[in-house]
Amino acid sequence: MARRFGISWPYRSRSEYHHHDDRDLTDEWQKEVYEHAANLARSSGYKNILDVGCGSGFKLIHSFEDFNTLGLELACNLDFLKSRYPQRNWGLSDLQSTPDFQPDLVVCADVIEHLTNPDELLSFLVRLNAGHIVLSTPDRSLLYRPWQKRYWGPPRNPSHQREWTSREFFRYISDTFEVVEHAITRKDQATQMIVCKPGR
């Protein structure tokens, strides 16, 4: 039986991976997620920030200017990041090898919906043993209504493998982590955010 990753039947995930190139984006999406993560890092006295799937790197650089950061991305984006921000640290995101970097806080903003197997991401996050993890992803119930075909998948966005409702995402993440906060951060962009930590 196929893994449902917390999503209710009869939802259908996408069957093929489509790469999303976001190197030209700045802070059009998830800006408030990064701001929330930065405020949490400051209030917690954190220093080391890891961004899994950092895209163009813009939000990581501008939200965490005074922190020690490591941004992880696919191989096709690494040269771009190293050229654009040579003063910062960048690494390969393959979800298999653990970086030589101990993060206090991990950001993973709107990445999980692109992955064919999000369990690999959660296993990777467990191995990092960070103080807090900030995850975001679209809330499917804000994108479509239950009577609309797209509500039951696959997503309209061809680079999304699947999309969770708020309830489904909480159920999926809370199986692995202790969820300490769950909120809709921008309703007009259908963004939901979970702040969690190890200890489940």
> SS3 for 120?
helix
Compute the chain's Rg from CA coordinates: 16
DSSP type of residue 164: B
Token pair, residue 32, equals 């408030």
Q: Which residues contact 18 (CB under 8 A, 6 or more apart)?
A: 158, 159
Q: Could you tell me where the beta strands, DSSP code E, fall in the chain? A: 48-52, 68-73, 89-92, 105-109, 132-138, 178-186, 191-197
Contact 44, 132 (CB under 8 A): yes
Residue 24 within a domain: no
Does residue 147 belong to any structural domain of this protein? yes
- Write the CATH number for 187: 3.40.50.150
- pLDDT for residue 26: 60
CB 95 within 8 A of CB 124: yes
Pairing mode of beta strands 191-197, 132-138: antiparallel
Is 179 contained in some domain? yes
Find where tokens 């040579």 sit: 86
Residue 178's domain comprises: 31-197
User: Residue 149 has what pLDDT?
Assistant: 87
Count how many domains the chain has: 1
Has residue 10 been placed in a domain?
no
- Check: CB of residue 194 under 8 Å from CB of residue 135: yes
pLDDT value of residue 2: 65
137 vs 108: CA distance, rounded Å: 9
Rounded mean pLDDT for each run of 10 residues along the chain, 200 residues in total: 85 86 69 97 98 95 97 93 96 93 98 96 97 98 92 94 98 97 95 92
**20, part of any domain:** no
Report yes or no on 19 lying in a domain: no
Q: Kindly list the distances between the CA atom of residue 19 and the CA atoms of 67, 70, 77, 188, in Å, as whole numbers in the listed order.
A: 29, 22, 11, 24
Q: How far apart are CA 53 and CA 72, in angstroms?
A: 6
Instruction: For residue 25, tell me if it sits in a domain.
Output: no
How many CA atoms does the CB half-sphere of 100 hold within 13 Å?
A: 0
Please list the residues that pair with 179 across neighbouring strands. 196
